[in-house]
Amino acid sequence: MKTETKKSRILVVDDDKIVLRAATEILQRVGYSVLAIDDAVEALAAMKEPSIEVACLDIKMPNLSGMDLLRAFKKDRPDVEVIMMTAFATVETAVEAVKAGAYDYLTKPFENIDVLSLAVGRAVEKKSLRDRTRVLEEALVARASFEELVGQSAQMRAVFDLVETVAFSGATVLIQGESGTGKELVARAIHFRSPRKDKPFVAVNCSALTETLLESELFGHVRGSFTGATSNKKGLFEAADGGTIFLDEIGDVTPAMQVRLLRVLQEGEVKRVGSNEATRVDVRVIAASNVDLARAKAQGRFREDLFYRLNVITIELPPLRDRPEDIPLLAQHFLARFRQKTGKDITGISARATEALTCARWAGNVRELENAIERAVVLCAGPVIELQDLPGEVRSQQQRGGSEVEVLSLAHLPYAQAKKLAMRAFERRYLSALLEKSGNNVSEAARAAGVDRSNFRRLLKQYEVGGRTTKQGDEDETDRLGP
């Protein structure tokens, strides 16, 4: 079975050379790269090696204690997880170690050879999750100037570049994209980078109003022009004078309204409903549509002259399913927002949950993903969002078998990414099937797989298969996984 190609680097420090050799063999056998040192002072220099992910430190050592070394790690290498080991365990030293930042505390001699490798595996996993979260947060900071627009895919980088390019012109912009892709966010990003940024940005959803109401909203009206018009009212074009007006879902407006909008674009003036007096306006128009306006024009549903007036510069927003590499970044962005809103201390999203998010098709695009993360934050009971916290339609992708349906569900992804996700799904199902066949007995399942038991446990942990290990006495019972 294929495992991770990158070996995690583990530092082990113990002045007892027998223990040091045994710990090294245990960790190397399950695939870790080990740096073994029998002197704490020498370990101070070794801790600067950037590849070290986890350190296992003996507490009682001459010249420099393990506790002193732990504090040095937490000061100079806070990214490294530290596991303390001692043959003189007391509650006081355990509490002191945890307060100083230790990830775990083990008593020597170990109960069995798996105790150390399992503890290191958990520490590596925690560091990996924290590192992934940090990388995503750094990417978000790099894009902070684009307000709520988030993405690092080639498609979104092209959108960012185009926004920067067109912002300083006064040209009309047409934004095309499915519902939920962030068209208004792009319009706002253009406005707030333009010379008009200190002037109004006015947004109106053209599909949300009837023709009569939309006309009154956009152009205003004079008193007595229709029932209920008890006073003169300025329209949104006048309200946006000097700034930008964003006409969302412009493809839904009626032919009569299209004529009036064309006049504004051609003449730069508006007439209030019920008035013959024209008012000059200096407004930049940004329009958006979730329907293909070129096709609507060809079908006679959208005026050709208005289309060409709007289509000076077009920005195409890709659907979320076409940029799956942006999903973890967006998920982290929404997690940070809802974590602050709810006050919950959630540190990240598990690997299995991230896979499920990446595989989902997201018919509602970014808006649907945002709702899914908000739901997960509310339901999450632990420090990490897990698969069970996600909506059922997202979970089903990870839980269904290896049928043709599953292959089709990955067809929207690039080949390399789809292959990677499919392989992980196969390996997870394979491990689950072995456990089920063996009655959740790890030793028996490992023998059937032809894999060393300790390595098999690491695979179970890596692919989040099975539950916690119960401890009941003999080897078979100790190896039986419980819920």
Q: Please check whether residues 335 and 299 belong to one and the same domain.
A: no
The DSSP code for 441 is B
Q: Is residue 329 part of a domain?
A: yes
Is the pLDDT at 33 greater than 60? The verdict is yes
Mean pLDDT of the chain: 83
Average pLDDT over residues 95-116: 85
Angle between helices 66-76 and 91-99 (to 10 degrees): 20
Q: Please check whether residues 244 and 296 belong to one and the same domain.
A: yes
Q: Is residue 137 part of a domain?
A: no
Report pLDDT for 408. Answer: 47
Unique residue bearing structure tokens 């894009």: 143
Q: Is residue 78 part of a domain?
A: yes
Q: Is residue 423 part of a domain?
A: yes
Q: Tell me which of 401, 430, 462 is where a domain ends.
A: 401
pLDDT tens digit string along 431-445?
777 777 787 888 888
Phi, psi of 188 (to 5 degrees): -65, -40
Report pLDDT for 227. Answer: 67
Length of the chain: 483
pLDDT band per the 50, 70, 90 thresholds, residue 473: very low
Average pLDDT over residues 390-397: 82
Q: Please check whether residues 460 and 361 belong to one and the same domain.
A: no
3-class state of residue 362 by DSSP? coil
Report pLDDT for 249. Answer: 94
Q: Please check whether residues 297 and 346 belong to one and the same domain.
A: no
For the record, the structure tokens of 202 come out as 């006015």
CATH number for the domain that contains residue 468: 1.10.10
Report pLDDT for 478. Answer: 45
CATH number for the domain that contains residue 363: 1.10.8.60
Unique residue bearing structure tokens 């990158």: 6
Kindly tell me the number of DSSP H helices and DSSP E strands found in the chain.
21, 16
Q: Tell me which of 371, 401, 431 is where a domain ends.
A: 401
Q: Is residue 357 part of a domain?
A: yes
pLDDT band per the 50, 70, 90 thresholds, residue 402: very low
Unique residue bearing structure tokens 């109004």: 200
Q: For residue 57, what are the domain limits?
A: 9-132
Q: Please check whether residues 190 and 285 belong to one and the same domain.
A: yes
Q: Tell me which of 355, 372, 401 is where a domain ends.
A: 401
Q: Please check whether residues 177 and 122 belong to one and the same domain.
A: no
Report pLDDT for 4. Answer: 42
pLDDT band per the 50, 70, 90 thresholds, residue 480: low
Q: Please check whether residues 382 and 471 belong to one and the same domain.
A: no
Give the integer Cα–Cα distance in Å for 163 and 168.
9
| Residue % of the chain over a pLDDT of 90 | 40
For the record, the structure tokens of 194 come out as 């333009």
Q: Please check whether residues 261 and 286 belong to one and the same domain.
A: yes
Q: Please check whether residues 47 and 176 belong to one and the same domain.
A: no
Angle between helices 327-342 and 114-142 (to 10 degrees): 90
Report pLDDT for 146. Answer: 62
CATH number for the domain that contains residue 227: 3.40.50.300
**Higher-pLDDT residue of 132, 406:** 132
Unique residue bearing structure tokens 């022009």: 225
Q: Please check whether residues 300 and 240 belong to one and the same domain.
A: yes
**Higher-pLDDT residue of 5, 319:** 319
Is the pLDDT at 54 greater than 50? The verdict is yes
Q: Is residue 480 part of a domain?
A: yes
Closest CA to 29 of 113, 110, 128, 85: 113
pLDDT tens digit string along 201-246?
999 999 988 888 898 899 988 876 766 666 788 889 999 999 999 9
Indicate the helix (H) or strand (E) that contains 85: strand 81-86
pLDDT band per the 50, 70, 90 thresholds, residue 470: very low
The total of structural domains in the chain comes to: 4
| Residue % of the chain over a pLDDT of 70 | 84
Report pLDDT for 469. Answer: 38
Q: Is residue 4 part of a domain?
A: no
3-class state of residue 164 by DSSP? helix
- pTM for the model stands at 0.61
**Higher-pLDDT residue of 76, 465:** 76
Q: Please check whether residues 166 and 292 belong to one and the same domain.
A: yes
Give the integer Cα–Cα distance in Å for 249 and 297.
15
Q: Please check whether residues 329 and 311 belong to one and the same domain.
A: no
pLDDT tens digit string along 268-278?
999 888 888 88
Type of residue found at 283: V
Q: Is residue 138 part of a domain?
A: no
pLDDT band per the 50, 70, 90 thresholds, residue 448: confident
pLDDT tens digit string along 236-283?
999 999 999 999 999 999 999 999 999 999 999 998 888 888 899 999
For the chain, percent helix, then strand, then coil, each to nearest 5? Answer: 50, 15, 35
